[in-house]
Amino acid sequence: MPSDFPYQVLIISNAPGAQSDGVEVISEQAVADEVAAVQSTLVAMGIAVHHRPLRNAADAAGLIAAQPNTIVFNLCEGLNGDSAFEMHLAALLELSGTPFTGNNALTLGLSRNKVLAKQLFAAAGISTPRWVACRTVPDAIPDGLHFPLIVKPACEDASLGIFKDAVVRDLPALRRNVQTLLAKYPGSAALVEEFIAGREFNVALLPDGDTVTALPPSELDFSAVPAGQDRITSYEAKWLEDHPLYQATPSRCPADITPQLRQRLHDCALAVFHCLDANAYGRVDFRVDAQERLYVLEFNPNPDITPGAGFSKALQAAGLSYRDFVSKALREAQSRARSSTR
């Protein structure tokens, strides 16, 4: 690739924020691991690479200036511990005309706002659990919903705010969880949706030119989750490696499913990708009930790409190396840069 690749690469990432709490710092460490993996891969490919951690708006402002002969490998998930700025950084790169990997600003913003995303899913005929957005603590179960319900932040990612007691079965528990999230994430709503008991899958997506490839589905194996504990991807199960729930919920890729279910997951994942106008790698999360009805939970436009993460496992299952992935991401950014100058 270096022989026909006339760019250097600038990796940008969010530095741990001064406002980050202990929970957020753990997920921010995963970003540092992504940087190390991408940087070492680029060095092995013979591509000049630099890394710039962004801490605040002053750091980000420099992105407005055009970066000559540079592709930005965008691993930034926000600024100063606030994921709301994730889309703004992509917008700055778009304004400057600098080619970058990862999804566009619009897709990043829509995906982070689960309320808007679910409205778009519904308009496109994509099945998603029934839901309401609560900006105040409810006095009764919201109209049209039935217990059990799951309560999560409306505008966060990486399972932030989703803890092992997120599923509720009565009004006092619902009120408690909504109140907790409204206090923790002021200015944002609490998303209350019907909990879909069943299996949980995710499908990684990888564009290559005009084609978007759905990689082999992964399934979270809940078989070792203790009796009485809800089978969900809580923060503990996703990030806390010493926690029993993390150890009890391994990811299996490729998932042991029928060809028919695999095709349905692929087709629905691609529909989600196009619904949110995505243009780069990402991941769609699903629940599938006992009748094998599919429910889209969300689209992750900036998934964890560390070598041991689920996205990388899907690459391996598809016969792709980490170097293949980095090369494809750079070529997509390069192609978009050429298209924008026509």
Which residue reads 């803890």 in tokens? 163
Which domains are assigned to the chain?
Answer: 2-102 (3.40.50), 127-194 (3.30.1490), 198-317 (3.30.470.20)
Residues 55-77 as b/e (b if ≥16 CB within 10 A, e otherwise) read eeeebbeebeeebeeebbbbbbb
Q: Which two tokens stand for residue 271?
A: 């529909």
Q: Residues 9, 47: contact at Cβ < 8 Å?
A: yes
Per the rule left: phi > 0, alpha: psi between -120 and 50, beta: everything else, 252 is: beta
Q: Which two tokens stand for residue 315?
A: 């690459």
Could you tell me where the DSSP H helices lie in 50-188? 57-61, 86-96, 105-112, 114-123, 171-184
| Residue 50 exposure: Cα atoms within 13 Å on the Cβ side | 8
Beta strand pairing call for 282-288 and 199-208: antiparallel
One digit per residue, the tens of pLDDT, for the chain of length 342 reads: 655 688 999 999 988 754 455 555 566 678 899 999 999 999 999 999 999 999 888 888 877 776 789 999 999 998 887 888 999 999 999 999 999 999 999 999 999 999 999 999 999 999 999 999 999 999 999 999 999 999 999 987 766 767 778 999 999 999 999 999 999 989 899 999 999 999 999 999 999 988 999 999 999 998 888 887 888 776 665 666 777 766 778 899 999 999 999 999 999 999 999 999 999 999 999 999 999 999 999 999 999 999 989 999 999 999 999 999 999 999 999 988 766 554
